[in-house]
Structure 1
Amino acid sequence: MNTLQATPPHHRVILAVDIEDSTSRTNTAKAALRRVMYELLEECLIAAGVPEEYRDPLVDRGDGILVLIHPVDEVPKTLLLSAVAPILETLLSRNADQFPGQKLRLRAVVHAGEVHYDGRGCFGEALDVAFRLLDAEEVKERFRQVASPLLLVVSDDIHQSVVRHGYDGINTRDYVPAAFVNVAGTVRLGWSRSASAPRGSSSLVP
């Protein structure tokens, strides 16, 4: 069997995070930020109810992490917005209070779609959309203008299928258009969550 042959498409919920201004840090500082990023993200996923058995192994992106979540009933897409994002923001806020000089702030994106795998990793248009939104200059500029340690961006697919319905724990008014990106000749819209989760809300984290 050719281990580099691509698999059929597998549906995944896509969560990716990226450290703000990582290229301006020294290698020593990057190492420390990466360690904390991994610790907080793993703590967040466990607290939100997304254990390892519901996701692929975390994919390292240097200054970020890719999480691919399996389409299981235990992890509906709503959970990413109503629990994962608020918990991660709370953990980042706590970390900032404890280590004010560290300045760890994350951009995050949520999307969903078909992902392929081969012997070298994962790929597909859905991932292209997620990373284009995560790295959009409009998103980075919006993040520079807010004090929150987390900026969440969701694809228009997630906005249309989840956000606009106002499910429990999701306020439709918190999301505003944030960026347009071009992927495979199609313009994709991303929405950012403009409202922050309550600072210091220990009830979000068991």
Structure 2
Amino acid sequence: MTSAVLSHAQHVPLLFADIKGFSSRSDRDQLRSREDLYAELRAAFTDELWQLCPQEDRGDGVLLVIPPDLPVQALFTAVLPRLEQGLGGRRRSDPLLRLRIAVHAGAVHRDGHGFAGNAVNHVFRLCDGEPLRQALDEAASDTALVVSEVIHDSVVRAGLPGVEPTTFHPITFQVKETRARAWLHVPGDNACAMRIARESAAGTDEGRDRDGRGGVSISAGHSVHMNGAVVAGGDAQVSSPPAPRARRWRGGR
């Protein structure tokens, strides 16, 4: 960690980067991967910005606290593109370095042991969600990114310069007791992000069907289920629950 100190809880952006396949590597390769991770992040942030961001090592990843006075869109317009480019140049290196990245913002506390708070918990769970894992497994890129709804609303959907909202796709994830919506972005492989978002929506629909809960869910290329009605390809098919069987009167009791 750097010497910067948060004297009290501050609402700040958080970035967590996690190395894919870290635990399957030998001790030697894990150590090398950690050195490479820090080198690539420092290059992507630039030395000056890197020194301004307090960091907490997480073994197979690193948590960065972004100063509240730094425009958070710079992560999407400058830092993350540089990181993807830098990782792409390592394709012939051994071991390969590919990263799952999560970005969130919230109240963050710091004590003598590190950073804490629900916002910190949430960014870790964002990064551990199955949709992000699947995205990096299937993507052609070396990074896959998920952002929380807080970040999506304040940065992505706001249409800030250099951030393209149409490349972020809604997903639902569940890690431990946290179940929430987030937004998936895969640099240079929008088709991958769209496919996983559709699968995430379909999985949510199936879960609702099993639970017996109704509601409406809409995703491109998928049917819409609404309380027994199915709309597919523009055609509506309405199915009603079977009528209860008439009870036969047997007389007497």
* Same-fold status (TM-score > 0.5): yes
In structure 2, give the amino acid aligned to 1:114. A
Find out whether 1:190 has 2:185 as its counterpart.
no
When residues 186 and 7 of structure 1 are mapped into structure 2, their CA distance, relative to the original with a 3 A threshold, is farther
**Which residue among 111, 128, 149 is the counterpart of 1:156?**
149
Aligned counterparts of 2:148 and 2:174: Cα–Cα separation in 1: 10
Aligned counterparts of 1:181 and 1:162: Cα–Cα separation in 2: 23
When residues 32 and 180 of structure 1 are mapped into structure 2, their CA distance, relative to the original with a 3 A threshold, is same
Aligned counterparts of 1:77 and 1:46: Cα–Cα separation in 2: 15
Q: Which runs of 5+ in 2 are unaligned?
A: 1-5, 190-253
- Tell me the CA shift for residue 26 of structure 1: 0.8
In structure 2, give the amino acid aligned to 1:55. C
State how 1:6-45 maps to structure 2 within 5 Å: 8-45=8-45
**Which residue among 80, 83, 86 is the counterpart of 2:78?**
83
Are 1:178 and 1:191, in contact at CA under 8 Å, matched by a contact in 2?
A: yes
| Paired position in structure 2 for 1:133 | 126
Aligned counterparts of 1:16 and 1:144: Cα–Cα separation in 2: 18
- Tell me the CA shift for residue 7 of structure 1: 5.6
- Tell me the CA shift for residue 122 of structure 1: 1.1
| Paired position in structure 2 for 1:201 | none
1:150-184 CA deviation, whole Å, 9 max, x = no partner? 1111111101111012211111111112332368x
Q: TM-score normalized by structure 2? A: 0.68
Aligned counterparts of 1:179 and 1:31: Cα–Cα separation in 2: 33
In structure 2, give the amino acid aligned to 1:191. W
RMSD over aligned CA atoms reads 2.1
Aligned counterparts of 1:23 and 1:8: Cα–Cα separation in 2: 34
Aligned counterparts of 2:178 and 2:187: Cα–Cα separation in 1: 29
State how 1:108-187 maps to structure 2 within 5 Å: 108-181=101-174, 187=179
Find out whether 1:106 has 2:104 as its counterpart.
no
In structure 2, give the amino acid aligned to 1:159. H
When residues 182 and 140 of structure 1 are mapped into structure 2, their CA distance, relative to the original with a 3 A threshold, is closer
When residues 59 and 186 of structure 1 are mapped into structure 2, their CA distance, relative to the original with a 3 A threshold, is closer
Aligned counterparts of 1:182 and 1:45: Cα–Cα separation in 2: 29
1:56-86 CA deviation, whole Å, 9 max, x = no partner? 2x211000011101111xx211111111111
Which is greater in Rg? Answer: 2
Q: TM-score normalized by structure 1? A: 0.82
Are 1:19 and 1:64, in contact at CA under 8 Å, matched by a contact in 2?
A: yes
Percent identity for Structure 1 against Structure 2: 34
- Tell me the CA shift for residue 92 of structure 1: 0.4
Are 1:177 and 1:189, in contact at CA under 8 Å, matched by a contact in 2?
A: yes
In structure 2, give the amino acid aligned to 1:196. G
Post-superposition, which runs of at least 4 consecutive aligned residues in structure 1 deviate over 6 A?
none
Larger RCO (CA under 8 A, 6+ residues apart): 1
- Tell me the CA shift for residue 51 of structure 1: 3.7
Are 2:141 and 2:187, in contact at CA under 8 Å, matched by a contact in 1?
A: no
| Paired position in structure 2 for 1:50 | 49
In structure 1, give the amino acid aligned to 2:82. I
| Paired position in structure 1 for 2:57 | 60
Aligned counterparts of 1:106 and 1:174: Cα–Cα separation in 2: 18
In structure 2, give the amino acid aligned to 1:19. I
In structure 2, give the amino acid aligned to 1:134. C
